[in-house]
Chain A
Amino acid sequence: MIVTMTDVVKRYKNQTALDHLNLTVKQGEVIGLLGPNGAGKSTSIRVLTGLTNADAGKVTLFGADKLGNDAKRRIGTVPQDLALYETLSARDNIEYFGKLYGVHGSMLKSRVDETLEILGLSDVANKAPKKFSGGMKRRLNIGCAIIHKPELLILDEPTVGIDPQSRNHILDFVTNINKQGTTVLYTSHYMEEVERVCSRVCIMDEGRVIADGGVAELTRSVIFEETVTLEVKEPAPSLPESIKKVQGVLHCDVQNRIVTVTSTAASGNIARILEIAAPYVILGVSAKKATLEDAFLALTGKKLRDGEGDSL
Chain B
Amino acid sequence: MRGMRDFLTVFKNSFKYCWSDRMGIVMLLAFPILIIFVLGNALSGYISPEYDFEEGEKIGIAVISETNSEHNALGTFLKEINIINVIYTDNLTALELLEDGEVNIIVGTDLSVTRPPVGNLSTQIAMSVVDSYSQISAAMETAIKNGENPAELMPLIESNISVVESPLGNRVPGAIDYYAVTMLVMILMFAGTNGLNVFEKGLFSQTGARTLTTPVSKPALIGGLLAAATVTAYIQGMITFLFSWAVYGVYWGERIHLVLLTLFGVTLFSQVFAIFMILLLKSPNAAMGGMQCIIWVMTFVAGGYVKIDFGEMNNVFQYSPNSLAHTVIFGSIFGGNETKMMSDLALLFVYSAVLFILAFLLGKRRISK
A100 adjacent to B209 (CB under 8 Å)? no
Query: What sequence of 0s and 1s flags, for each residue 326-369 of chain B, a beta carbon within 8 Å of any chain A beta carbon?
Result: 00000000000000000000000000000000000000000011
How far apart are the CA atoms of A49 and B368 in the complex, in Å? 11
Interfacial chain A residues near B201, Cβ < 8 Å: 85
Q: Which residues does chain B contribute within 8 Å of A144, judged by CB atoms?
A: 210
Contact A83 B209, beta carbon cutoff 8 Å: yes
Q: Is B205 an interface residue (CB 8 A)?
A: yes
Whether A82 is near chain B, meaning CB under 8 Å from some CB there, is yes
Interface of A is mostly: loop
Contact assessment for B214 and A97 in the assembled complex, using a CB-CB cutoff below 8 Å: yes
In this assembly, does A87 line the interface, its C-beta being within 8 Å of a C-beta of chain B?
A: yes
B212 within 8 A of A: yes
- Chain B, 1-56, CB within 8 A of any chain A CB: 2, 5-6, 9-10, 13, 16-17, 20-21
CB atoms of B207 and A92 under 8 A apart: no
Closest to B214 in A: A100
Q: A73-81, A244-252, A303-311: which lies at the B interface? A: A73-81
Contact A83 B205 (CB under 8 A): yes
Complex partner residue of B206 from A53, A69, A79, CB under 8 angstroms: A79
A210 smallest CB distance to B (angstroms): 27
State whether B20 touches A88 (Cβ < 8 A): yes
CA A83 – CA B2 in complex, angstroms?
24
Across-interface contacts of A53 in B (CB, < 8 A): 369
Cβ-defined contact, B17 with A85, below 8 A: yes
Contact check: which of A51, A84, A92 meets B212 at CB < 8 Å? A51
Partner of A84, one of B20, B207, B215, B368: B207
- Is the C-beta of A62 less than 8 angstroms from some C-beta in chain B? no
Contact in complex: A85, B207 (CB < 8 Å): yes
The residue from A72, A79, A88, A128 contacting B214, defined by CB atoms under 8 A apart: A72
With A87-B20, A92-B16, A96-B9 as contacts: A69 and B207 at CB distance below 8 Å: no
**Please, how many angstroms separate the alpha-carbon atoms of A51 and B216 in the complex?**
13
State which size class the interface on B falls in: 20 to 34
Which residues of chain A come closer than 8 Å to B10, judged between CB atoms? 100
B134 close to A (CB within 8 Å): no
Q: Which residue of A lies closest to B10 (CB)?
A: A100
Is B209's CB under 8 angstroms from A99's CB?
A: no
Residue of B whose beta carbon sits closest to that of A52: B369
**B16 adjacent to A100 (CB under 8 Å):** no
Whether B6 pairs with A52 at a CB distance below 8 angstroms is: no
Asked whether, in the complex, the Cβ of A51 is within 8 Å of the Cβ of B209, the reply is yes
Are B207 and A87 interface neighbours, CB within 8 A? no
Please tell me if the beta carbons of B210 and A128 are within 8 angstroms of each other in the complex. Answer: no
Which residues of chain A come closer than 8 Å to B211, judged between CB atoms?
97, 100
B211 to chain A, nearest CB (A): 7
By the criterion CB–CB under 8 Å, are B213 and A82 in contact? no
Instruction: Give A257 to B367 CA distance when docked, in angstroms.
Output: 66
- Given the interface pairs A51-B368, A85-B17, A88-B13, the reply to whether A101 lies near B210 with Cβ below 8 Å is no
Pick 13 A–B contacts, CB within 8 A, sort by A: A51-B209, A51-B368, A70-B215, A72-B213, A72-B215, A77-B210, A82-B206, A85-B13, A100-B6, A100-B9, A100-B10, A100-B211, A145-B210
Known: A51-B212, A100-B9. 8 other contacts (CB 8 A): A52-B369, A70-B215, A77-B210, A85-B201, A92-B16, A100-B214, A100-B216, A104-B5
